[in-house]
Structure 1
Amino acid sequence: MSTYDVAIIGSGPGGYVAAIRCAQLGMKTAIIEKYNTLGGTCLNVGCIPSKALLDSSHHYDDAMKHFEDHGIEIPGEIKINFEKMIARKKQVVDQTCDGVAFLMKKNNIDVYTGMGSFKDATHINIDGADGSQTIEAKNTIIATGSKPGSLPFITIDKERVITSTEALTLKEIPKHMIVIGGGVIGLELGQVYRRLGAEVTVIEYMDRITPGMDKMLSKELMKVLKKQKIKFHLSHAVNKVERNGDEVTVTAKNKKGEEVTFTGDYCLVSVGRRPYTDKLNATAAGVKINERGQVETNEHLQTNVSNIYAIGDVVKGAMLAHKAEEEGVFVAETIAGQKPHIDYNLIPNVIYTWPEVASVGKTEEELKEAGTAIKVGQFPIRALGRARASGDIDGMIKIIADEKTDEVLGVHMIGARVADLIAEAVTAMEFRASAEDIARMSHAHPTYAEAVKEAALAATADRALHV
């Protein structure tokens, strides 16, 4: 029987990063993955493939709508080779997963393919295609991630009533895709298929899309997506989804209590994700799972069993790949006896629609509810020379600072490349910068980053220069 200092169950961003850090710290490390490829949901059926399709569909959308504005004329009809688009997506996924496999080999991490489950607190059974085996681990990190959620009355047939997993591998472009849920996944995939010619209808239970983000972002994003001809029905409670051949009918009640129906050829159910602990056999190790299906942990991400930890989507908090990565490093360093730290308030959230959406810190609504005295600075993307040059003029950057100390408490962005720009805000807030600090930093011209400086100026006694 092989014995390890650390075994990680699950090879998503949290799991494989934890494995690498454990190996760097000199621990003999094993990683267990039930699928034949490493990388978990993010690399295989989440972050990476969805971004590949978002980029491909963006190129097509630009060619159809914007190339002519730039003096680019394409003779003949522009056509979509959807099969090739999906094949390119798969190539990107394969390359990324192969990269993770290379990193495991480079760091001398043993990879086991099969379903990992606890035999007891220090032994893990691995059931694979070639049979079963057991390994011993002084410490174990649970990194089993999450699966798409659903509603009790919906039958996911994976053909016409689908989750994000199936939406990434469709054989055809839908005529009308009904999206249940106005969150990140539904909006990203909805935009992909809208660009490719599908009619897209989003049905959201709450009174706004992206309800967990700052209201400014929700308002601006919906305004832009409406211009792109995505239809929205807010404050609608779905109560029935029925398939009849190639047709799907969704029934919902609006805020007046009236029943309305929507008919399409595909229905994407994107109502969130659930922690995945199926077949983990956590009870055999004595690990507690709460009523929400999450592995319970303390502030050190340690379970009630002292040598077992959990990270990522399977524990409380936002289900974000980069959160899982931070937690993977945190647990590895904790096991090694170090004193790492994570500030969950400073983990950014991003939506990869176009325009992109990004935020970090507190929303204006949260701060007002807490009674915090604040000042707010906003700057429109369309006022930037760089935005006019590229034609990407939609969006806004908003900086919220403490009224007394000027410390930046939240930054909320919608616009081109804000998925990258948000890192500037995270850096500033990590060092507890003031709005004045950001306002006095030189930002290259012409860039999108200038909007961050201008928003900071606006928050500092309304000193924005270009509006």
Structure 2
Amino acid sequence: MKSFDVAVIGSGPGGYVAAIRCAQLGMKTAIIEKYNTLGGTCLNVGCIPSKALLDSSHHYEDAIKHFEEHGIEIPGDVKVNLEKMIARKQAVVDQTTGGIDFLMKKNNIEVFHGMGSFKDDTHITVSGEETVEIEAKKTIIATGSKPSTLPFIEIDKERIITSTEALKLKEIPKHLIIIGGGVIGLELGQVYRRLGSEVTVIEYMDRIIPTMDGGLSKELNKVFKKAKFSMQVSHKVKSVERKGDEVIVKADNKKGEEVGFKGDYCLVSVGRRPYTDGLNAEAAGVKLDDRGRVEVNGHLQTSASNIYAIGDVVKGAMLAHKAEEEGVFVAETMAGQKPHIDYNLIPGVVYTWPEVAAVGKTEEELKEAGVDYKSGQFPMRALGRARASMDIDGFVKILADKTTDEILGVHMIGARAADMIAEAVVAMEYRASAEDISRMSHAHPTFTEAIKEAALAATDDRALHI
């Protein structure tokens, strides 16, 4: 039996990063992965493939809608080759997961393929092509999450699908019905709307991206309606039925009236659930909460003192970068260091176009907490860079403490918001004031000038370009 200082169960962004950091800190490390490829949901059927399809579909949309205005003329019709688009997506995935293989070898991390299951708190059975048992002084549970569904919906993976199937369709849907107006549903909805699908989004809450700032939700909803999405908010889905190649969805609207929707595909995108199937956590003395998450303390330590858990399988936002931070945190904690994570400063991003990104508190949260704040907002259309690239939708909003001027939240929707949000994270990490940002030089012309202008707007309402 092989023995290790630490074993990591799950090789997603949390797991593989935790393993690398453990190895860097001198621990003999093993990683256990259920599937044949490393990288977890994010690299295989989540973040990476969805971004590949978003980029490909964006190129197509630009070609048919915007190239002519740029003075680029393409003879003949521009056509979509979905098979080739999906193949390119897979090539990106393969290259990325192959990079994780390299990192495991580079850091002398032993990889075991198979289902990891606790025999007790220091022994793990790995059931793969052959069954092996390993010993680990400490273990990190990084088993991630799976798509959720509703109890009355039967996912057949053909017409009634999850995000996993939506990333490898053989045809462009005529009418794609999406249940759930959150990040995953909206991103995949935009992919197929660009490719020609009619898209209907059905959301239970009264707005899309309901966990983000209300201003972002309102602006993105406006963008999607302009793109001829059918946006059905405040609708409670009560049945999803397949009849041949047709899917019928019935829901109650906010008046309590039943409405029906018919499409050829239905994407169920109602969130994700922690994945602990087959883990046999109880054998190791690891407790789960009533939502199936692994219970942890402030050090991400489970009820078994030598076992830790990170990422989607514990409480908090289900984000790859949150899992990575937790992976490093646990590795350094086990090595006797004293790391720290500020969960308030983990940004959230929606990779639609325009992109949506945020960090810190929303206006709704500040109002609920009774915080006296001020707000500064600047529209993207007022930027020379935005007009040059025809990306004029969106804005940047900065929320700051009314007394101290410390930045409490930054919310943006616009081109490259996913990259721009890092400036806000850095500013808030160092407890910058809105005036600090307003007095820093931002290169011209850039999209980040909107951050400076929003900071100026929050500082005595003195934005320069509106």
Instruction: Provide the TM-score with structure 1 as the length reference.
Output: 1.00
Q: 1-side partners of 2:450 and 2:201: how far apart? A: 30
Give the C-alpha shift of residue 92 in structure 1.
0.2
1:282-301 matches, within 5 Å, as 282-301=281-300
Give the C-alpha shift of residue 19 in structure 1.
0.3
Q: 2-side partners of 1:104 and 1:133: how far apart? A: 20
Q: Does 1:18 find its partner at 2:18?
A: yes
Paired residue secondary structure (1:263): strand
1:322-341 matches, within 5 Å, as 322-341=321-340
Question: Could you give the per-residue CA deviations for residues 376-396 of structure 1, whole angstroms, max 9, x where no partner exists?
Answer: 000000000000000000001
Question: Could you give the per-residue CA deviations for residues 16-48 of structure 1, whole angstroms, max 9, x where no partner exists?
Answer: 000000000000000000100000000000000
Give the C-alpha shift of residue 196 in structure 1.
0.1
Q: 1-side partners of 2:353 and 2:209: how far apart? A: 15
Aligned match of 1:364? 363
Paired residue secondary structure (2:68): helix
Aligned match of 2:52? 52
Q: 1-side partners of 2:52 and 2:89: how far apart? A: 5
Paired residue secondary structure (1:70): coil
Aligned residues: 466
Aligned match of 1:223? 222
Q: Does 1:113 find its partner at 2:123?
A: no
Give the C-alpha shift of residue 303 in structure 1.
0.3
Question: Could you give the per-residue CA deviations for residues 158-201 of structure 1, whole angstroms, max 9, x where no partner exists?
Answer: 00000000000100000000000000000000000000000000
Aligned match of 2:151? 152
Aligned match of 1:451? 450
Q: 2-side partners of 1:58 and 1:296: how far apart? A: 41
Aligned match of 2:128? 128
Give the C-alpha shift of residue 136 in structure 1.
0.4
Q: 1-side partners of 2:254 and 2:243: how far apart? A: 27
- Identity level (%): 80
Q: 2-side partners of 1:64 and 1:275: how far apart? A: 41
Q: 2-side partners of 1:365 and 1:77: how far apart? A: 47
1:47-86 matches, within 5 Å, as 47-86=47-86
Q: Which amino acid aligns with 1:63?
A: A
Aligned match of 1:319? 318
1:375-390 matches, within 5 Å, as 375-390=374-389
Q: Does 1:206 find its partner at 2:205?
A: yes
Q: Which amino acid aligns with 1:15?
A: G
Aligned match of 1:461? 460
Question: Could you give the per-residue CA deviations for residues 256-285 of structure 1, whole angstroms, max 9, x where no partner exists?
Answer: 110000000000000000000000000100
Aligned match of 1:440? 439
Paired residue secondary structure (1:69): coil
Paired residue secondary structure (1:248): strand
Q: 2-side partners of 1:76 and 1:459: how far apart? A: 50
Aligned match of 1:183? 182
Give the C-alpha shift of residue 374 in structure 1.
0.3
Which sections of structure 2, spanning at least 5 residues, go unmatched?
Answer: none
Paired residue secondary structure (1:41): helix
Q: Does 1:88 find its partner at 2:88?
A: yes
Instruction: Provide the TM-score with structure 2 as the length reference.
Output: 1.00
Q: Which amino acid aligns with 2:96?
A: T
Question: Could you give the per-residue CA deviations for residues 334-387 of structure 1, whole angstroms, max 9, x where no partner exists?
Answer: 000000000000000000000000000000110011110000000000000000
Q: 2-side partners of 1:258 and 1:368: how far apart? A: 33
Q: Does 1:3 find its partner at 2:3?
A: yes
Paired residue secondary structure (1:291): coil
Aligned match of 2:236? 237
Q: Which amino acid aligns with 1:39?
A: G
**Segments of 4+ moved more than 3 angstroms:** none
Q: 1-side partners of 2:117 and 2:340: how far apart? A: 29
Give the C-alpha shift of residue 205 in structure 1.
0.3
